[in-house]
Structure 1
Amino acid sequence: MLASGAGSTMAAVLRAQTRPAYGARIVAVISDVAGAGALVLAKQHGIATAVVSPAEFESRDAWNVALARTVQGFAPDIVLSAGFMRILGAPFLAQFGGRTVNTHPALLPSFPGAHAVRDAMTYGVKVTGCTLHVVDSGVDTGPIIAQVPVPVLDGDDQSTLHERIKEAERELLVGWMPRLARGFEVIQGRVHLPPFRGDTIE
């Protein structure tokens, strides 16, 4: 898992993976921020951690190469970007493209980028939501796996709306992780998954 922040999404997955039949587990947490809360949480649960800080590299490409090498060392089936505030570049995607997924706080293709919640409120939409998608070379342009709508309520501000979206993101990710861990393919811009028998996707 790639994370830059407190690790609230990771915490939801950690709770889910205590169920014997869950079918997925976090093998490592890698951050670009040395003091990220996600790293602290991972260590508390005995999960391997690593920091790959862009400040330590001469170029973005060099950082991407180092990040890919670090991820490869943990041999994950998939790579989850959860609150990771860096754009993954070509050197990383050359190795992990097609099996890196991301959660985004909007119903893509609407409102891509780092200010999705603010942009949705500014536009005045009545429904926004969250998207689970495959990461590609663009900014939130990869093939969509699943989405959950979240209504914009009267009296919402950016903070209250974002909190409800984050709750939806966590539920979406927890529901889909076991299925994604069993493998998926991207064919002609669409995500294809094998038949799944296990936890119900919520």
Structure 2
Amino acid sequence: MPKLDGTHILERLTKRIEQLEAGDEIADKEIRSLLNDAQRAELDSAWEQQQQLRKNKRARTEQEQQELGWKSKRQVRIEVLKAALATAWDGIEKEFERLQNQAEIRGAKIYFDTLNQALKDGKDNRVAENLANNAMTRAGLKRMDGQLIGTQGLTPRDREIRAMEDAILKRVVSEMDDYEREQYELSQAYDKAVLENRKKQIR
């Protein structure tokens, strides 16, 4: 089973919380698979406290149960999952950076492997570049030539992730002060210059 990344965790935590709040039954292993070791320990500890509370303090009515702080296993699960969801959101920007770095490395490999193979096959530079960029489009990655591909060739999940990335980037940029925005714009200009230089070297 492939390892879940931060975007998968966000989606699945949200879904499980909605299911629990709707009264659906969910297997314990489904809940625990979305938690890290510390969160699993927190879940176990919270339920153990509830069991001890029931042993030590009896309640005859629902009102007495609430006053004594009784919680159902469903309520305990929801609380722990909501805390895990908040933690996942706190780290999502760093997770997107990690995924973006992975995508850039993968994209560069696809691009240059395809480009080099096309040149070996006797294609001229322009055709080889087009073939390499098309390979990146098929992989759902950003093209080296900067041509926008929109959502062509992307799965629904790829489109959702791209929309989330765009929204987070816009929010981060909007919260920058003048100095940070200037540094960001310089970084964008540098990346563009590096890309143009790579393309010139290839030719």
User: Between Structure 1 and Structure 2, which shows a larger proportion of strand residues?
Assistant: 1
TM-score by length of 1: 0.22
Look at both structures and tell me which one has the larger radius of gyration over its CA atoms.
2
Relative contact order: is structure 1 or structure 2 higher (C-alpha 8 Å, sep ≥ 6)? 1
User: Between Structure 1 and Structure 2, which shows a larger proportion of helix residues?
Assistant: 2
